Chains A and B, each alone.
Chain A
Amino acid sequence: MQKYDIVIIGGGPAGLSAGLSAKKAGIDSILILERDSELGGILNQCIHNGFGLHTFKEELTGPEYASRFIEQIIDKDIEYRLDTMVLDISPNRIVTAMNKTEGMFQIRAGAVILAMGCRERPRGALNIPGYRPAGIFSAGTAQRLVNIEGYLPGKEVVILGSGDIGLIMARRMTLEGAKVKVVAEVMPYSGGLKRNIVQCLDDYQIPLKLSHTVVDIEGKDHIEAVTIAEVDSNRKVIQGTEKRYTCDTLLLSVGLIPENELSKNAGIEISSVTNGPIVNESLETSISGIFACGNVLHVHDLVDFVSEEAGKAGESAALYVLKSKETRDDVNENLSNVIVNRTNLTDSESLGDLRTDTIINVKAEEGVRYTVPSKIRSLHVNKFINLRFRVGNVYKNSFVSVYLDNERVIHNKKRILSPGEMEQVVVTKEMLCQKTDLKNITLKIESE
């Protein structure tokens, strides 16, 4: 069986960044497995710009952003295999994969990094009634057809859902000569970034109808029209608000689902809110030595945050590998605890009360839908913890509060918080050290 210290499942932005940071942390034996014919993942079809503002302080297209990472991967001789589908990951980190040249093969991995990304929620999952004709696409499929294959699906377009890919495709289809008649969003707020609403809809006078959904699809062979109606606060259709739009294309941008079939088969615990693995401060899943990052962990809006998060996962996986190597070298297994302390707590003078490695739960309450990570091992905190989260509604002039048990330690005023934009808050190690027997960190949205 082939052996690698770290096997990364997926060569998109998360996998690439994880690979680079693992290499930087001192691991040479790394393998990236990518199912597509090139590295870069979904970035390859994102030919619009706006990528990299945080990472590179400039606006790049998706392929440009990807190439900055791919060049480094090649430069640093990090191994990767293309057109290779991972079929199974076992709890003891044996990865089964397949491609045309090697057939089916297995790899024993010192650590595994999950970076499989996400898929689009299809029409079927929405239970939109009507016919099932041609001309209905998830926005990302249409994006691939237009940007990679070079074909236009149609010229009269209706878009259901205001996710970012749908917004981007509204502009893209318009630029290709199609008429985008309306974007309908069932929620009272958009699921996409504010900047995309402005740049992709407002700039092209494409109407966005909030609290509206598709209630009928006409056309047996090919889509001919849809009916859109307003919904009430319980998302029930308001009779009499129906309006029919003729169209030859319906794009769906109604949510992204982390692709965790491999993770679930491995027995990894999955959050019912994010649909991604439950991870600790090291982005390690419920199975030791398996890490997760990027959209397979939770859906991101900005690739810059994916790269940053994946960098952390790569670093954690590298530490894990180094630690288990040292453990193996040492006859006396008892030493391993000492090694944990040595590798993770470089600034050991600030140990404070964190003498034992207790688990702190991170709770999402009052408007906060989830946090990543949701568990923190106190001894593994290195300087600070970046808690990423999303809110469940639109909040104006509210506060993001962090409680350490009952004590509020962070109270940040935000002009606007919306479900379409991922937020983050930093909890420092100093804060954690000031509390004894800390059990819970709680995130809340407060009005004052």
Chain B
Amino acid sequence: MLYDVVIIGAGVSGCAIARELSKYKLNICVLEKEEDVCCGTSKANSAIIHAGFDAKPGSLMAKLNVLGNEMMDDLSEDLDIPFKRNGSMVVCINKVGLKGLQELYERGIANKVKKLKLLSRDEALKLEPNLSDNVEGALLAPTGGIVCPFILNIAMAENAYENEVSFYFNTKVLKISKCEDFYQIITNNGDYRAKYIVNAAGVYADVFHNMVSENKIHITPRRGDYCLLDKEMGHHVTHTIFQLPTKYGKGVLVSPTVHGNLIVGPTAIDIEDKESTATTMEGINELIHKSEISVKNLQVSKNVITSFAGLRACEANHDFIIREVPDAPCFIDCVGIESPGLTASPAIGVMVREILVSKEHPVLKDNWKSKRKGILNPNNLSINERNKLIKNNPSYGNIVCRCESVSEGEILDAINRPLGARSLDGVKRRTRAGMGRCQAGFCSPKVMEIISRELDIPMEEITKCGGKSHIVLEKTKK
């Protein structure tokens, strides 16, 4: 089958693009090498909706950051995504740095970030009493926010799927060749033909770009280690606390998450292995040390419930590159999507749509669905509403994950909805089962049973995250 558009990568960029293009009468599919959406850079980042004061004025990054940020209110409403404008604060801990804070403020104004305000030491401490005693001033950006990166990504994918975009998982693109008026895409899972290719492959975007273009690019994965702290620390700060970059580096952020944890990170270590998401002792120690510069009494080692690493897809010029590749017509790059890629993703979707529409002039659908309903969270219901729900569907009365209070009903929804979960991590990202302080110790056998029952697959075939990540080897009694 000849697709009008094949999107490589089901991360947040790919899915945002898929959703925007699904407004048109186009045959679209998304190819993803992992078993689910949101398995690469999109799943392991700071979960921040940046205000946009950081990017270089005039850069594409600055433009799409601010645009993406502004789109989040409507998008989160349409797609039923947890999102909160908690505000960001850049903290400066010495008088010498105040000049830098002023510069950052001016850069934000140049980038058209709204409501920016410079705060004195006292004003900053009044808003955030747990800031370091050394704080000298801060930049407040009320438009900064926090989001669930998984749900943002998943919601855009589900919505695109509802609007007839096909998704092929465990499908790794091996080779792309240009034929007369289409591209031939060879994968481990069959061949695809596409009139247009959108390259939204994150840290692998250079590989696919270089298959079709003579002007080679290089993406450097920049590893960032993170620590996630217990919900008991979730209110330690209410804003996202950044450190004013110094000559010693960018510093690490400390932020509440939309689910009530506290996140600390990231480090920034350039590597070459595009799969190397292993944390290191040095990285974690760096986080523990650096986070204390801006926020006091964090006790990271005592309060950490998990640590992880993500890879930012950095291009040499540190700007997004979103355009039709000059020497490869109909091949649209969406590369160098490092931070603030999550924030910019809705605007990236719009930009790629505009590039394609201006060239192809597709017809708009008249039945496009703009809304997606998320997995019902019974914790947000009143007792009466909840009891009505349980009466109609008793599985909502059975708590499977006790740490995050996730019911069987939510897990069933996660598995049985469009593009449903196939693995423990798939269930975890959709429902938070296993995301809490016991880190799936209690619920994983139960979630495995539910997956096994619902998808009719034996326990031995259930994986943590697809591929070879099987949980159990074999039955004890054969």
A residues whose Cβ falls under 8 Å from a Cβ of B: 35, 83, 85, 87, 98-104, 119-120, 122-125, 127, 129-135, 138, 140-141, 144-146, 148-155, 176, 215-218, 220-222, 237, 248, 261, 264
Instruction: Name the one of B304, B471, B477 contacting A153, with C-beta atoms under 8 angstroms.
Output: B471
Q: In the docked arrangement, what's the CA distance between A60 and B451, Å? A: 35
Given contacts A85-B402, A124-B304, A124-B305, contact A119 B441 (CB under 8 A): yes
Check if B474 sits within 8 Å of A151, measured CB to CB. yes
Which residues in chain B, 450-478, are within 8 Å of chain A measured between CB atoms?
459-460, 463-477
Report the bound CA distance from A217 to B305 in whole Å: 17
Interface size on B, residues (CB 8 A): 57
Contacts of A220 in B (CB 8 A): 275, 277
Besides A141-B440, A149-B445, A218-B278, 18 more A-B contacts (Cβ < 8 Å) are A98-B386, A98-B390, A98-B399, A125-B439, A127-B304, A129-B278, A129-B307, A134-B463, A134-B464, A138-B441, A146-B476, A148-B445, A149-B459, A149-B472, A151-B473, A220-B275, A221-B463, A221-B468
| CB proximity to A under 8 Å, residues B261-304 | 275, 277-281, 283-284, 301, 304
A222 in contact with B468 (CB, 8 Å)? yes
Most buried by A among B281, B439, B445: B439
Closest to B301 in A: A127
Closest to A99 in B: B397
Q: State the CA gap A87–B465 with chains docked (Å).
A: 30
Q: B460 near A151 (CB under 8 angstroms)?
A: yes
Q: Which 3 A-B pairs have the closest CB atoms?
A: A124-B306, A122-B439, A103-B387
Distance, CA A35 to CA B279, complexed state (A): 35
Decide yes or no whether B405 CB sits under 8 A from chain A.
yes
Binary A-proximity of B133-151 (CB < 8 A = 1, otherwise 0): 0000000000000000000
The 8 Å CB contact of B387, one of A83, A104, A133, A134, is: A104
A83–B399 alpha-carbon span in the complex (Å): 8
Pair count A-B, CB < 8 A: 143
Compute how far the CA of A57 lies from the CA of B402 in the bound complex, rounded to whole angstroms: 36
A140 and B398 CA atoms in complex are apart in Å by: 22
Q: Is the CB of A134 within 8 A of B281?
A: no
B284 & A127 in contact (Cβ 8 Å cutoff): yes
Let me know if A131 and B307 touch, CB within 8 A: no
Q: Which of A120, A127, A134, A215 contacts B471 (CB 8 A)?
A: A134
Distance from B298 Cβ to chain A, minimum over Cβ atoms (Å): 14
Residue-wise, chain B 398-431 has the 8 Å CB interface mask toward A (1 for contact) of 1100110100000000000000000000000000
Of the candidates B281, B387, B394, B440, the one whose C-beta lies within 8 Å of that of A215 is B281
Residues in B neighbouring A248, C-beta threshold 8 A? 473
26 pairs, CB–CB < 8 Å, chain A vs chain B: A83-B398, A87-B405, A98-B390, A99-B397, A100-B390, A104-B383, A104-B387, A104-B397, A122-B306, A122-B440, A125-B439, A127-B284, A127-B304, A129-B278, A129-B280, A129-B307, A131-B278, A138-B441, A141-B441, A145-B472, A148-B445, A150-B476, A151-B474, A215-B281, A221-B468, A261-B403
